[in-house]
Homo-oligomer: A and B are copies of this chain.
């Protein structure tokens, strides 16, 4: 039975089969609804108003009040179409499509001395072939192989059918003067790699799980002892009908929230452009767990795969258009991202990442071609997903460990990338130990009453007057505030604590004589902005529940630091530098992060903010096989601590559920400040 769905105010329609979910019907009508919880009916964000809903069956109304139900509200993800339906979609529930600003690439420098002839396997080889005659009637492929051997020393050539299908026409149209684009493959088996990286191995740790054998899937990247023109094996990417061909590469970071693309000139090694946008999968779940659940639905994996590839293709198209680069000249792609994001990108089911004992399909996904996932670059371009370590310590961390310098430094270093999860690595060039803490999405503005992502209208910085308890705020974009983003929440929590509005357990004090501390619908709250000052016309508040969520998030991350340090028998104070990666770190106020006990209390000069270390690592791996092998080596030797069953972690977490910490001596400078 076909049912007709009319969606107002757009007056768009869809014809769907009985039994379809309303959000799916909306998608078919061209309207993407926001499903932050992945369509599980938990978040209540996809509520629509049924104007004619007699043929709609509500599967779950858990998130709707009696008043909502009487007003006709239904959750689109929980509403089954049983006949014709007329629904009204409130504007705020449509997916926000605000673009993050694309910065110019000027000034992006990679910590790498680029040597294209030695470290970079892509080659554009000019080739003049003698045209065939009755006396030299070798076939097209053998002629190409013969001349690549004679003119460029390539002894063995791998050719895929799609390339061979075009070869004859190209050779003749170009009148036998062409450019062969090849990716060199090292001849020798993997030897001891990364000699300057490996020595002693990680310290032996009680209760630390071994990772087993590393993946030997470093396809085409091992023992790179081929030299320019010195022969060897190669994979033919294409034959181009001209004696000139530019070689471009794309480095990608697939974040749960944001995707970033760098365009690189493989001949100079320079980053010539970048573009960033939200991951379109956001409409199917804001956090990793929601996405994994969505992927297990019928066609859910294919849908999520298409969404992220769609985002990446838009970014590639945009960066290419700006730089006037033909996407067909992009012949190599490297991809970093957390393990779940790489699974969804490659179309690998992520189901077992979520279930104990948390097993990915592959930490090192074998290389594939762009055409296999639908990436709009050269269809034969190699797509190299960088190696990860475990389900919750992915290729973004491996890439970050290399691009941040952690993997090559002598200094005892803590590297941390705070997103929905806090992922962290402690170590130096000799050993590395990593863990991931489920911090929850509070620092990304989710799970907090007035939380939001760090886009226009977000309060990103807060100061509170120590006598009047009146706040001053800074809003992204300068207009009226809509809510609070992660850095704003941290700043607010810190200011509330150091001004004494809240105590070390997070309780609000009512004896301060300010109307900003009050009892709200859900308990105590602090008013950051009055209704008349906000863009929403409602008070922006931080509730006691929000404070608990933030404290749990910061406690999880600090507990991770502590367990890492304990596991190798050092004190956090011994850490010589703290490298902070990820978008979050870019806007973080260290002082305030230390004040709430999120970051350890140490001299500020030890902290460095590095921005997106993941995409930078992907760019370095794109340019250099030596770096790429370093990453494989780092992934192999990084010891992973699984915290979910670790008693020490639980104890450390409980101790960290105070501001800044139960043991105030760990935060001497904060103690001095707040102890007045």
- Measured CB to CB, the residues of A under 8 A from B are 132-143, 145-146, 149, 155-161, 164-165, 167-169, 172, 209-217, 219, 346-349, 351-352, 356-366, 368, 372-373, 390-391, 640, 642, 644-645
Contact = CB atoms under 8 A, between A and B. Distances in A.
A160 B367 CA distance: 8
Most buried by B among A143, A172, A362: A362
A356 B209 contact: no
Contacts of A356: 134
Most buried by B among A137, A155, A213: A137
Given A137-B357, A161-B372, 11 more contacts: A135-B210, A136-B212, A137-B390, A137-B640, A139-B360, A140-B361, A142-B212, A142-B214, A143-B212, A145-B216, A168-B359
Nearest to A167: B361
Given A155-B216, A158-B366, A209 B136 contact: yes
A157 B642 contact: no
B134 A642 contact: yes
Contacts of A366: 141, 158-161, 164
Nearest to A390: B137
B138 A211 contact: yes
A472 B133 CA distance: 51
A357 B136 CA distance: 9
23 contacts: A132-B357, A134-B357, A137-B209, A137-B640, A138-B211, A138-B212, A138-B213, A138-B359, A140-B362, A141-B215, A141-B217, A141-B361, A142-B214, A142-B364, A161-B348, A161-B365, A161-B373, A164-B362, A165-B347, A165-B348, A168-B352, A168-B361, A172-B352
Nearest to A158: B366
Nearest to A215: B142
Nearest to A383: B161
B349 A168 contact: yes
A214 to B, nearest CB: 7
B213 A137 contact: no
Contacts of A349: 165, 168-169
Nearest to A301: B165
Contacts of A137: 209, 211-212, 357-359, 390-391, 640, 642
A142 B347 contact: no
A106 to B, nearest CB: 37
Most buried by B among A361, A372, A390: A361
A474 to B, nearest CB: 44
Which 6 pairs, one residue from A and one from B, show the smallest C-beta to C-beta distance?
A: A138-B212, A141-B362, A146-B213, A139-B360, A134-B357, A139-B363
Given A134-B642, A155-B216, A215-B142, A164 B209 contact: no
Contacts of A372: 161
Secondary structure type dominating chain A contacts = loop
Contacts of A642: 134, 137
B359 A139 contact: yes
Given A349-B168, A352-B172, A362 B139 contact: yes
Contacts of A211: 137-138
Nearest to A155: B216
A137 B139 CA distance: 51
Contacts of A215: 139, 141-142, 145
A174 B373 CA distance: 28
Contacts of A217: 141, 157, 159
Contacts of A140: 352, 359-362
Contacts of A167: 361
A159 B218 CA distance: 12
Contacts of A139: 215, 359-363
A497 B160 CA distance: 54
B363 A142 contact: yes
Contacts of A210: 135-136
Nearest to A138: B212
Contact of A134 (B168, B172, B216, B645): B645
A479 B667 CA distance: 105
Nearest to A369: B161
A358 B133 CA distance: 9
A491 B290 CA distance: 78
Nearest to A368: B161
A159 B352 CA distance: 20
A674 B420 CA distance: 97
Contacts of A145: 213, 215-216
A347 B161 contact: yes
A65 to B, nearest CB: 40
A365 B164 contact: yes
A346 B161 contact: yes
A376 to B, nearest CB: 18
A138 to B, nearest CB: 3
Nearest to A642: B134
Contacts of A142: 212-215, 362-364
A349 B137 CA distance: 17
A157 B364 CA distance: 13
A602 to B, nearest CB: 32
A363 B138 CA distance: 8
A223 to B, nearest CB: 12
A372 B157 CA distance: 19
Contacts of A168: 348-349, 351-352, 359, 361
Nearest to A213: B146
A156 B212 CA distance: 16
B357 A141 contact: no
A159 to B, nearest CB: 5
Given A348-B165, A360-B140, A368 B209 contact: no
A135 B216 contact: no
Nearest to A219: B158
Contacts of A361: 139-141, 164-165, 167-168
